[in-house]
Chain A
């Protein structure tokens, strides 16, 4: 197993355990719903509509996730490029910004694992069994309004993208490990002529096309 696959293995295990504000069962349910979004009728109707708001309907609550939590997971998984501040504020007003952020973070993490498997022609990995335990429910001291939709670390940072999940440190650790092994590669990130099998320009090409296809402004 290489370091990419090791990081994915670790991430899958960490998703099954309690996080910052969500239990292991809730986090595994996020994975299940994020995966369902690929074929979900409502999600696909919204995704192909001129505006997602033009499509009536909502995702009903499940045993693990409330209706707003379902909305966050399904929209983030299926149509992230058209999320708006107003939409986020509606969800946050019910869920709280910590649970909202963790739901977004877990959705992003499982998107990495599932997309990698699809790209490599591998079967979907089975959802893990949830691990018991309670979320830490610790809000970091150094977070505040830095202009994003949710509180983020206010300390020095090179870029806003590096602090997206700083409100939920347990989830952020898993996320940052994936970013480091899959893309940024520690100090090598500063090297525009790195020696990895996929060259730096080839890496940026794939990154740029993927981002464009997802209509991500950032």
Chain B
């Protein structure tokens, strides 16, 4: 999606591998992942933030912090209200979810009947991230 639009080849498996803090095909990815991991898993946040600021600047670093923050909220409203994965996303991401191990997350149970419907009908709803907050 945004990777293609920006002509980047992104290693999705590495993005979702919590142990990986190196390059994934996005500028400053090592610093961004180190910062995210430090905030989420506990680590030297100050050092990670300083390294990130050296790489991308103070304003972008603040925006990275805001992104970490809002996704901490998003996972809680999504998992706390038990929303289903939208059919379009579900259908378009079958192979990726399997390959990346996302189906093992407990929240997958909320989408069990989306899985059943998706095999019977044409996809509907969002298929790309840009559709999510319209």
A105 touches B63 (CB 8 A): no
B-binding residues in A (CB < 8 A): 2, 4, 72, 76-77, 80-85, 88, 101, 104-105, 107-109, 111-113, 115-116, 118-121, 147-150, 152, 158-162, 164-165, 175, 178-184, 189-190, 192-193, 196-218
Q: Which A residues lie within 8 Å of B86 (CB)?
A: 159-160
**Chain B: residues with CB nearer than 8 A to chain A?**
1-6, 8, 10, 12, 15-16, 18, 24, 26-29, 32-33, 35-37, 39-41, 45-46, 49, 56-57, 59-60, 62-86, 89, 102-103, 105-111, 113-114, 125-126, 129-134
Known A84-B106, A119-B49, A218-B107; contact A158-B63, beta-carbon cutoff 8 A: no
Residue in A76, A104, A201 whose Cβ sees the most chain B Cβ within 10 Å = A201
Q: Is the CB of A162 within 8 A of B77?
A: no
Name the B residues within 8 Å of A82 (CB-CB). 106
B40: nearest chain-A partner, CB-CB = A213
The answer to whether A158 and B131 touch across the interface, beta carbons within 8 angstroms, is: yes
In the assembly, what is the distance between CA of A46 and CA of B59, in Å? 37
Closest 5 CB pairs of A and B: A149-B82, A217-B107, A192-B5, A104-B80, A182-B70
